Amino acid sequence: MKKFTCVQDIGDLKVAVEEALELKRDRYQFSELGRNKTLLMLFFNSSLRTRLSTQKAAMNLGMNVMVLDVNQGAWKLETERGVIMDGDKPEHLLEAIPVMGSYCDIIGIRSFAQFKDKKEDYEERILEQFIRYSGRPVFSMEAATRHPLQSFADLITIEEYKKVERPKVVLTWAPHPKALPQAVPNSFAEWMNATDYDFVITHPEGYELAEEFVGGAKVEYDQRKAFEGADFIYAKNWAAYRDPHYGEVLSKNRAWTVDDEKMALTNNAYFMHCLPVRRNMIVSDSVIESEQSLVIPEAANREISATVVLKRLLEGLK
């Protein structure tokens, strides 16, 4: 594998999940593969799970790891070409990228949507510059439009817990006080659409995701109807995608919070969320603390998805 930024990069999902479950049985079986190879993890945005699980995955494979928080301790980076650099950003990404590439073998990037320019966000300008100029395999640790390491971990978790071959999986919008990117729901939809699951998306009107991510999924505006018979409820907030409201919070309606009454409509569904989660906005205390909540095993599977991805990128170096 030469890069990992979207579902297509992982190839056959059944093969990838089998590889993940095999690695989960013994996560140190390739501990020599990464000897004398260095991973650079670059964060333009905060992280708990991605930072720790990806570093752990690299350590499982015997890699050396360097972590750089771009906005804390590094020179502020200019990302636009053609800018007269007379402001507070002393270094340009176009020099910084090949320099960083010269110190490592694989690069992971976290670079969220900035909500200033939809075209710029959806063209993945920062991620694409790393792919083009670093000279190294690049993987996404959540970019502007997708979070594939999360979606892969979500898929592994569903495969581990599903009770029927083709479960009904529901992605539901839920309220949040601040504007959040569409990367997690976009990516989850992309991965679910690549399976043969019965996949439904529910959200208030105005929160439609980009058509390229909705794909063939059923969109149901009545959340309660969507929940009927569901085997998995995947909650997430996202800001509006459609113009002229791109990046805006259109609703904080807590009638969309996932609670016991709504979970009772499901087929005793499991509850999922990528974390961090705002309790009693996205989900009630009782649902997230219930036996049906998978948020902890889902987060633990981030180490497994990252181990598979780094293993394949290491194999691609040869």
Residues in touch with ligand CP (CB under 6 A)? 47-50, 142, 150, 274-276
Instruction: Give the residue with the Cβ less far from ligand CP, 48 or 85.
Output: 48
Neighbours of 115 (CB within 10 A): 16
Under 8 Å between Cβ of 233 and 170? yes
Q: Is 87 exposed, middle or buried (0-12, 13-18, 19+ CB in 10 A)?
A: exposed
Q: How far is the CB of 286 from ligand CP (least distance, A)?
A: 22
Under 8 Å between Cβ of 18 and 44? no
Q: How far is the CB of 46 from ligand CP (least distance, A)?
A: 7
**The two three-digit tokens of residue 13, written as one number:** 């999902």
Q: How far is the CB of 150 from ligand CP (least distance, A)?
A: 5
Q: How far is the CB of 276 from ligand CP (least distance, A)?
A: 6
**The two three-digit tokens of residue 14, written as one number:** 């059944």
What type of residue sits at position 167? P
Q: How far is the CB of 211 from ligand CP (least distance, A)?
A: 25
Beta bridge partners of 42: 68, 109
State how far the Cα of 316 lies from the Cα of 318, in Å rounded to an integer: 5
Instruction: Give the residue with the Cβ less far from ligand CP, 78 or 189.
Output: 189
Residue owning tokens 């670079």: 111
Instruction: Give the residue with the Cβ less far from ligand CP, 188 or 227.
Output: 188
Instruction: Give the residue with the Cβ less far from ligand CP, 142 or 231.
Output: 142
Q: How far is the CB of 98 from ligand CP (least distance, A)?
A: 27
Instruction: Give the residue with the Cβ less far from ligand CP, 168 or 273.
Output: 273
**The two three-digit tokens of residue 196, written as one number:** 């043969």
Q: How far is the CB of 306 from ligand CP (least distance, A)?
A: 11
Of 79, 39, 42, whose CA–CA distance to 56 is shortest? 39
SS3 234: strand
State how far the Cα of 111 lies from the Cα of 39, in Å rounded to an integer: 17
Instruction: Give the residue with the Cβ less far from ligand CP, 183 or 258.
Output: 183
What type of residue sits at position 213? F
Instruction: Give the residue with the Cβ less far from ligand CP, 53 or 257.
Output: 53
Closest residue to ligand CP: CB criterion: 50
